[in-house]
A = this chain, B = another copy of it.
Amino acid sequence: MNLTPFFDYIKQYVELTSEEQSLLLSKIKTRKYLKGQFVIQNGDVCRHENFVLSGCLKTFYIDNEGQEHIVMFAIENWWTADLGSFITQTPADLNIQCLENSELVQIHYDDLQQLYLKIPKLERFFRIIIQKAFVAVQKRVINNFSLPASDRYLQFRDQYPKIEQRVPQYMIASYLGITKEFLSKIRSQLISQKK
């Protein structure tokens, strides 16, 4: 598998020496998943941080009524994990499933703890990308209670234009917290406004 996108991604934030790069390389694994397979299932402990080399995945939560709620999507150059499970090494609440055949770079929890000690720049790297992820999810909380569904859909399309062409509409509805019928109505209204 071509790991260039992985190292290029890290390079955006920290400059690793060739020794550090070799050490990191020795601690990561790549893994292929088929469409439909799970990277993590609720109840299991999330052992890996995952970087997407190719493919598309959804992270979702099943509520007490058995309904699925999509928490996030991940495509190329995104990280995905049940972070709550990963940092505490306790059973996951979330599921991560492949919507396409996917190739991931995986870093095991134990290896990452060692890597933090040996390559302190990785502390910086993960500090920065988690700050960005925090801001994104906080923005989602704010949008959810301050914007009508149609505006949230437009924001979703702006922020994740590549995802919309790759995942079914009912999953986008789930991500937005609305029914697929309501999403369909919003889309029809937007099309008729364009005419």
Contacts and interface: CB of A to CB of B under 8 A. Distances in A.
A141 B138 CA distance: 9
A13 to B, nearest CB: 11
A142 B93 contact: yes
Contacts of A138: 71, 83-84, 137
Interface in A69-90: 69, 71, 83-84, 87
A87 to B, nearest CB: 5
Interface in A16-60: none
Q: Is the interface of A mostly helix, strand, loop or mixed?
A: helix
B123 A84 contact: no
A131 B132 contact: no
Contacts of A141: 71, 137, 140-141, 144
A144 B144 contact: yes
A15 B124 CA distance: 17
Interface in A140-179: 140-142, 144-147, 177
Contacts of A7: none
A89 to B, nearest CB: 13
A67 B84 CA distance: 32
